[in-house]
Chains A and B, each alone.
Chain A
Amino acid sequence: MNHPLDTALWGVLPYLVLTLFLAGSAWRYRYDRFGFTTRSSQLHESRLLSVGGPLFHYGLLFVIAGHLTGLLIPESWTEALRVSEHTYHLTSLLVGGAAGLATAAGLALLLHRRLSTPSVRRATLRTDLLLHPLLSAVLLAGLTATATGAAAHPYDYRRGVSVWFRSLFALDPDVPAMTHAPFVYRLHALLAMALFTLWPFSRLVHAFAAPLGYAVRPYIIYRSRART
């Protein structure tokens, strides 16, 4: 039998977070579309941003891709492709570590910029006060978890955390898979849930606005007064 707290944290909380994430985003999109913006501060400061912004975001893209493969693709599949756990682990340690470090460096630069440039500091939103520390914490916990992977007998998260993650979508949360995970992994997951809760209500909604349609649309857009 699971401890009630474990059930609450790993069996119930994820669904609450997901609901809030989806409903919150839908509400924000429907009712505060004007608030969907990057709130760029480049007008105030460009030099640090031009390094920190891309470093953080490009690193993050790799990190996200890594999470998707690690969490969604079961170990048995990669094994079927004759990728041994050892090879996979080593790759994820190196690539994931590098991407994570780049992201952290980028974020550190962005934080430094935000604190040291008076006009950027002044342009900081209330939600940023929550968002930036939380994002840093998620990132640090994640990096620590990756770093523990360099130990002699590392924890194989794909047999634990990933199983739990996928079980959530089967609506049958595998709580023990998570309770047996090392502390940093549980901390990382909890902080991530906090981040997803904050997501719809912070500037992070700008990630939903990623303008992929631009790649295929014609250059000049005409619109009629009648339809606006």
Chain B
Amino acid sequence: MRVMAQVAMVMNLDKCIGCHTCSVTCKQTWTNRSGTEYVWFNNVETRPGRGYPRGYEDQEKWRGGWELRHGRLVPRTGGRARRLARLFANPELPALDDYYQPWTYDYDELLSAPLGDDVPTARPRSLTDGRPTAVTWGPNWDDDLGGGPEHLAGDPVLRAMNDTVRLEYERAFMFHLPRICEHCLNPSCVAVCPSGALYKRIEDGIVLVDQDRCRGWRMCVSGCPYKKVYFNHRTGKAEKCTFCYPRVEAGEPTVCSETCVGRLRYLGVMLYDADRVGEAAAVPGEKDLYPAQLGCFLDPDDPEIARAAEESGIPHDWITAARRSPVRALISTYRLALPLHPEYRTLPMVWYVPPLSPVVDALSGSGHDGEDPANLFAAIDALRIPVEYLAGLFTAGDPAPVEAALCRLAAMRSHMRRVNLGEPQDPRIAASVGLDERSMHAMYRLLALAKYEERYVVPTTYAAGSPEPQPVSGCSLDAEGGPGMLPDEEAFHAPPSALREPAAGRANLLTWNGRDTAGLFPPRRRGTSR
């Protein structure tokens, strides 16, 4: 057993109102630069719908993720030899058109147009070639099912279901699916990177691109089945969701979580057994992937596991955080959260509580009491279509775990309604979904009240494998790099070296202004500062 820790996320889809606040704050933080105009580390797509980039779930076309070949796990885009042979042009790379062509408007026209009878207009202009353009697609073009049924027809999950289902479904329901990088346990983006620039961090499992090592082979873009690695067309480097690592290191939630209007995102530590990951990703049946991934997670309340975790170098506060982890509660304890597309075999670590509201709405719409447990359970059973669709998203098509999660949500709703209305409580409701009243209340507290400190349980970072502090004689603060050591004034405020931006202030031949040499050479040393 090799215990590792990961900061994971769960999103409660019932509460997402599709406001895109998360996308916008994320963009403002990370991708409001030229070269990344089309890049949304966080996007919210309407389901059913095509998603972003369009139809990204169609792995027959994009070949993202892993597949089993003769029982062995191989990136779907091909093994090492094929990747190297395709370096010169990657046949599976999405084009900018599959995302959308970024544009701006000639705002200047509004001010500089001469006085006249016509209202001046700001015409759209392409951000890639600078020419006037016609806007034909953009982020969330098909938001809230806008644009008509042809967009629905392009939904790969829907396409896998049969036609009658599709028609009925359009009437049945719609929900929003916010997506970020899954920071997978078995990341295929890492596997297909020829330069080894992508890596998974040992301490917190965050998957990052080393910008100094990326050589722009753009294999990761197609290797990720969720299409959550993007190519910066100005710098020629891959960029991806960073899980806001500078914030997470400081014990703060990611920007998308912090700003989420619905307060539906949960962050917490998951302990898992790294030795089981390979096996779990390679189970033959696609429907077995969800249980297999559940089997990788470890129970931090088990003293045996806690000891193994400490032996693996996981600090004590991380283990206590894992015990309090809301993510673990939703994934393992209540079995409410499900992984997105486990069939890609990357073992994703951003999970989703499936939405119950559409079922309730459909029920209420047909004149029934949408909160009556008997009605609800029957509806979950009867409304095959939404359940089947959700299963296509979250469990590789197995409806049982989705139904179980929805029934648990339904039971919680009914139970809490009785509590709120002061009606006599019926312990059979909780029992029918394998829970008791206490866990009903705990679930309710976590999902409905969703207090800030309970939603985000993020311990501050550590450094795996850093040498044990040496016993020192004299003041321990005087150790190398300690606060008592003051080589110069600046060092006191300098961030730890791991956080220091290596390329800050440096020019690059591609971005060089062509005039002076600022940033091209190391700064001249002043005196003997080192």
Contact = CB atoms under 8 A, between A and B. Distances in A.
Interface of A: 28, 31-46, 49-51, 53-54, 56-58, 118-119, 121-123, 125-127, 201, 206, 209, 211, 213-215, 217, 219-228
A118 B498 contact: no
Contacts of B80: 214-215
A224 B217 contact: no
Given A34-B506, A43-B96, A57-B88, A223 B200 contact: yes
B464 A54 contact: no
A201 B405 CA distance: 58
Which 4 A-B residue pairings sit nearest by Cβ, starting from the closest? A211-B194, A226-B463, A118-B129, A37-B216
Interface string B504-521: 001111100010000011
Given A35-B508, A121-B129, A123-B233, A211 B200 contact: no
Contact of B202 (A32, A49, A217, A223): A223
Contact of B196 (A119, A127, A217): A217
A34 B498 contact: no
Contacts of B211: 34
Given A220-B200, A225-B461, A44 B191 contact: no
A39 B87 CA distance: 13
Contacts of A45: 95
Nearest to B96: A43
Interface residues on B, range: 35 or more
Max chain B C-beta neighbours (<10 A), residue from A42, A121, A126, A228: A42
B212 A34 contact: yes
Contacts of A38: 215-217, 236
Given A42-B93, A43-B96, A122 B199 contact: no
Contact of B96 (A34, A44, A54, A223): A44
Interface in B208-242: 210-218, 231, 233-237
Contacts of A39: 216, 236, 510
Interface of B: 75, 80-81, 83-84, 87-91, 93, 95-96, 126, 128-131, 186-187, 190-191, 194-196, 198-204, 210-218, 231, 233-237, 249, 461, 463-466, 498, 503, 506-510, 514, 520-522
Given A33-B213, A211-B195, A228-B498, 5 more contacts: A31-B522, A34-B506, A37-B510, A118-B130, A224-B202
Contacts of A51: 89
A221 B199 contact: yes
A74 B310 CA distance: 64
Contact of B210 (A56, A119, A228): A228
B128 A122 contact: yes
12 contacts: A32-B520, A34-B508, A35-B508, A42-B89, A49-B89, A122-B128, A206-B215, A219-B191, A221-B199, A222-B201, A224-B201, A226-B463
Contacts of A56: 88
Contact of A226 (B93, B498, B522): B498
B231 A225 contact: no
A37 B215 contact: yes
B129 A211 contact: no
Max chain B C-beta neighbours (<10 A), residue from A42, A43, A211: A43
Contact of A225 (B190, B202, B210, B510): B202
A5 to B, nearest CB: 32
B509 A58 contact: no
A209 B215 contact: yes
A50 B84 contact: no
